[in-house]
Amino acid sequence: MQTSASQGIAARPLWLIILAAGLIVGAAMGLRQVMGLFLNPMTAELKIGREAFSLAMAIANLTWGLAAVPMGAISDKYGAGRTLVLGALCTMAGVYVLYAAPDSTGLMASSLPFIGRFDLMVSGLLMGIGIAGTGITALVGAVGRAAPPEKRPQALAALGMAAGIGGFIAFPYTHLFMETLGWRTTLLVILATVALIIPLAIPMAGKPQAGPSTQRQQSLGEAFGEALAHPSFWLLIAGFFVCGFHVAFYAVHLPAFVADKGLPSWVAIAALTSVGVANIIGTYLAGQSGKFAEKRVSLAVIYFMRVFAFLGLLFLPITEWTVIGVSILLGFFWLSTVPLTSAMVATFFGAQWMSMLFGFVFLSHQLGSFAGLWTAGRLYDATKSYDMMWWICIALALFAALIHLPIREQPVARLAVPAQA
């Protein structure tokens, strides 16, 4: 009989793992969202160009996407506790480097002289590694392994909801702190918040338990080889690229679209808030859909429903209420893709390397985000309109909906073959 200690994380109740993971991912994703707020005060006070700060944030995004795979692999092999602590420490270090950035007036000297003028880039690098270790990609494996397959979409949806809530509430509170405490002190508040991840990592600690005794364990290389040779895995990757393309474009360019249409600026805030709230509800519903529908069908429906939102922006009269209505519709089908996509990875290959393989899928999401932003900027500069971009979004949504239909939602043959003694 196994003892509780030897069972590790598997011995802990599922609710405790989801609660701890939810709090961690909420804090991590909230931090991830708010860094843009520091652009104006930091560049003004430190007398640095906006390019330097933007570059640091771009480095953070790129590093996050690239580090998600190795961090996921560490989380899968040694347990999420290690990546969480490493990620939290890296994030804290990155935030501290920003806090200690030297003031050009000399009133605030950097306490990190060895970093010199590269401090913002170093900060971006550290925060990118940090979010890869504490964000949703690092935790889907731990939660996915803890939950039985029939409850996995709901458990992962809880994680997605926590990420949505964290990102949603972080903006207004951080903005309030910055106004009342100043940006440097707000960074210390953020640093202290991130520090809470370390004790919260305790319930997530412990080496993942091996799967059922009938199942042979895979090496990292075998897992990658198997995934890359699996056609349905590539279809999932292609679909998640479209998800990133849509959400990054809509969120970033919506305020400009609203302004172009002559609508007041409160419409953009109301619309993005509607997306945030509807996203939380949509993610919950996506998790529940796992009880009565195949995940590939739910994902196809999510992508297909986005078509109507984009068509609405092309053909409906653009008023305050149509923009908000479309945003609510889009919000329901925003990141509700995450629990279903991550659960599908576990359905294909089991949960042993779930974080690493989802990290690979997530890299495609980040590339899609980049492509969406870049394409939108190029097309807008060329045509002074977003119409072409809405049509591209519609075409991609239809493409994503269609490619999910032929996905074979069943485990690979390996999972049915008993291990050799």
Partner 1 sequence: MAEPSDRSNRPASAGEHVPSGLRNAVLAVGGVLVFGALYLIVLRGEAILVDLSTMTERFWCF
What residues numbered 74-133 form the site for partner 1, per CB under 8 A? none
Structure tokens at 7: 């069972």
Cα dihedral 68→214→10→232 (10° resolution): 30
Distance (Å, whole) CA 140 – CA 47: 41
Chain positions 58 to 77 lying near partner 1, rule: CB under 8 A, are 58, 61
Judged by CB, which is closer to partner 1: 166, or 312?
Answer: 166
Among 69, 76, 85, 145, binds partner 1 (CB under 8 A): 145
Asked if 136 contacts 25 with a C-beta cutoff of 8 angstroms, the reply is yes
| Size, binding site for partner 1 by CB under 8 A | 72
Output the smallest distance, CB 246 to partner 1, in A.
Answer: 9
Contact between 270 and partner 1 per CB under 8 A:
yes
From residue 417, give the alpha-carbon distance in Å to each of 318, 385, 412. 57, 55, 10
Judged by CB, which is closer to partner 1: 125, or 251?
Answer: 251
The site string for partner 1 over 25-64 (x = CB under 8 A, - otherwise) reads ----x--xx--xx-xx---------x---x--xx--x---
Judged by CB, which is closer to partner 1: 179, or 387?
Answer: 179
Chain positions 172 to 191 lying near partner 1, rule: CB under 8 A, are 172-173, 175-176
Asked if 334 contacts 278 with a C-beta cutoff of 8 angstroms, the reply is yes
Output the smallest distance, CB 171 to partner 1, in A.
Answer: 6
Among 207, 220, 238, 273, binds partner 1 (CB under 8 A): 273
Judged by CB, which is closer to partner 1: 365, or 404?
Answer: 365
Judged by CB, which is closer to partner 1: 102, or 372?
Answer: 372
Output the smallest distance, CB 310 to partner 1, in A.
Answer: 16
Torsion over CA: 311, 316, 365, 53 (sign): positive
Chain Cα centroid distance, residue 321: 29
Distance (Å, whole) CA 83 – CA 95: 18
Contact between 265 and partner 1 per CB under 8 A:
yes
Chain positions 328 to 387 lying near partner 1, rule: CB under 8 A, are 334-335, 346-347, 350-351, 362, 365-366, 369, 373, 377
Chain positions 213 to 252 lying near partner 1, rule: CB under 8 A, are 214-215, 244, 247-248, 251-252
Q: Which residues of 202-239 are buried (b: 16+ CB within 10 A; e: fewer)?
A: ebbbbebbebeeebeebeeeebbebbeebebbbbbbbb
Output the smallest distance, CB 114 to partner 1, in A.
Answer: 27
Contact between 199 and partner 1 per CB under 8 A:
no
Piece of the chain touching partner 1 by CB under 8 A; list 113-121, 186-194, 275-283, 386-394: 275-283
The β-bridge partners of 418 are: 215
Judged by CB, which is closer to partner 1: 10, or 317?
Answer: 10
Contact between 281 and partner 1 per CB under 8 A:
no
Asked if 137 contacts 355 with a C-beta cutoff of 8 angstroms, the reply is yes
DSSP for residue 386: S
Contact between 319 and partner 1 per CB under 8 A:
no
- Please, is 17 exposed, middle or buried when counting C-beta atoms within 10 Å of its C-beta (0-12, 13-18, 19+)? buried
Piece of the chain touching partner 1 by CB under 8 A; list 140-148, 184-192, 289-297, 308-316: 140-148
> Whose structure tokens read 């995004």?
61
Largest CA distance in the chain: 71
